[in-house]
């Protein structure tokens, strides 16, 4: 069942819990939840989001998981969080201040959870949240304590700069580096 526009708009500003645990191999970090994601309470839940297919095609998961199976990531040493917790229709609605504050909160979350790698999904959000205006995709020169930081493209269907095969290839580079 698909929600109506009014139902989705009712989730503006809502949050959803992280899928996380201490000591993960990779903690994937979205920019912020979309309204569909907040409504469904599943990360990368909107139909057309390429996170789940990219995760599978890159070899992180043994099969294509649905967003409702997000809990199955934890036994694989994978988790999901967001830079900014509040849901919005698009990430473009976030302010620079929200992204910067989200970056500070994310650093604290990473310090508590101590994943081996943080993978931020969105280079623009990473640049703003971490005050790294020239950051590029891939492994970053500075981690968060012992946690390595990677930047990958945003898997949203709105990001037309990367095809699913290109996303999967970049995700596979991360997977190979974390095995």
Mean pLDDT in the chain? 94
- Cβ of 66: how many Cβ atoms within 10 Å? 10
**pTM for the structure as a whole:** 0.95
Q: Which domains does the chain have, with CATH numbers?
A: 5-177 (3.40.470.10)
**For the segment 31-78, what is each residue's pLDDT rounded down to a tens digit?**
999 999 999 999 999 888 899 999 999 999 999 999 999 999 999 999
Q: How many helices (H) and strands (E) does the chain have?
A: 6, 5
Q: Rounded to 10 degrees, what is the CA torsion of 134, 95, 123, 12?
A: 180
Lowest mean pLDDT among 1-5, 73-77, 125-129: 1-5
pLDDT at 159: 66
User: Tokens at residue 81, please?
Assistant: 């969080």
């Amino acid at each position: 069942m698909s929600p109506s526009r009014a139902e989705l708009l009712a989730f503006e500003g809502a949050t959803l819990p992280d899928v996380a645990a201490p000591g993960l191999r990779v903690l994937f970090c979205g920019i912020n939840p979309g309204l569909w994601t907040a409504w469904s309470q599943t990360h990368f839940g909107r139909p057309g989001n390429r996170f789940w297919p990219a995760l599978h095609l890159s070899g992180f998961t043994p099969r294509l998981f649905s967003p409702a199976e997000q809990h199955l990531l934890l036994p694989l040493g994978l988790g999901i969080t967001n830079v900014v917790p509040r849901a919005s229709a698009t990430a473009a609605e976030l302010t620079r201040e929200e992204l910067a504050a989200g970056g500070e909160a994310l650093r604290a979350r990473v310090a508590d959870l101590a994943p081996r790698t943080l993978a931020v999904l969105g280079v623009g959000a990473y640049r703003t949240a971490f005050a790294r205006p020239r950051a590029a995709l891939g492994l970053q020169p500075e981690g968060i304590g012992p946690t390595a930081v990677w930047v990958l493209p945003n898997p949203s269907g709105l990001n037309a700069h990367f095809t699913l095969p290109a996303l999967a290839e970049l995700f596979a580079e991360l997977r190979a580096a974390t095995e």
